[in-house]
Amino acid sequence: MTATKPTRRLTVVSAGLRVPSTTRMLATELSEAAGRALAASGEASDAYEVVVRDVEVREHAHAIVDALLTGFPTGELAAAVEDVAAADALVLVTPVYQASFSGLFKSFVDLIEEGRLRGTPVLLAATGGTERHSLAIEYALRPLVAHLGAVGVPTGVFAATGDLGGPGAAALGARIERAVGELAALVGGGPVVAPARDEVADPTPFAELLARTSRPT
């Protein structure tokens, strides 16, 4: 008799507003990579079966407004909110508007009951026109997730327009693999290995660079 594999539930929330959407493209890449990482995170004889749920926030836009006015979600929106709350791991992807997450993304998150995400590992990701929006993950998304009691993985994934199928694709792929590895480690209860220095996410301060150039040789 074949033993049943333990199941891990992964929910990927994409808050892009356009069709096609770079946010949806990034969410798809993260979903596939995270699914592979979670499936392989168990012992070889006891690997996980990963059940992936995709939540496209745009599809629930009108229902979200209704839910904010009535105080509770219904129908397909209620099912989407439950998919998020019941997940073993989450991937949250939002476009950056006005230096922060989109209003529709925040409105969806506002429907999640307090305490439902406590302790849930979360991979944070965002898209924007240029790299100058990348810090929105740290100063906007990460505090929101911390307030919800969820556990954000150390590596955030930001994709500018040129990163998706463009010159930045290789670097983006490396960040994705590192982030999903951290997510899998948290889900499996293992240690999260400190990432190598990423000059995009953690640039060298200008004062330090200036000091290097002024040192005598």
Please list the pLDDT of the chain residue by residue as tens digits (217 residues). Answer: 455 778 899 999 999 998 888 999 999 999 999 999 998 876 544 577 899 999 999 999 999 999 999 989 999 999 999 999 999 999 999 999 999 999 999 999 999 999 999 999 999 999 998 888 899 999 999 999 999 999 999 999 999 988 887 778 899 999 999 999 999 999 986 545 444 445 455 555 545 545 544 444 4
Secondary structure of the chain as H, E, C letters: CCCCCCEEEEEEEECCCCCCCHHHHHHHHHHHHHHHHHHCCCCHHHCCEEEEEEEEHHHHHHHHHHHHHHCCCCHHHHHHHHHHHCCCEEEEEEEEECCEECHHHHHHHCCCCCCCCCCCEEEEEEEECCHHHCCHHHHHHHHHHHHCCCEECCCCEEEEHHHCCCCCHHHHHHHHHHHHHHHHHHHHCCCCCCCCCCCCCCCCCHHHHHHHHHCCC
The model scores a pTM over 0.75 = yes
Domains belonging to the chain, first-starting first, are: 7-214 (3.40.50.360)
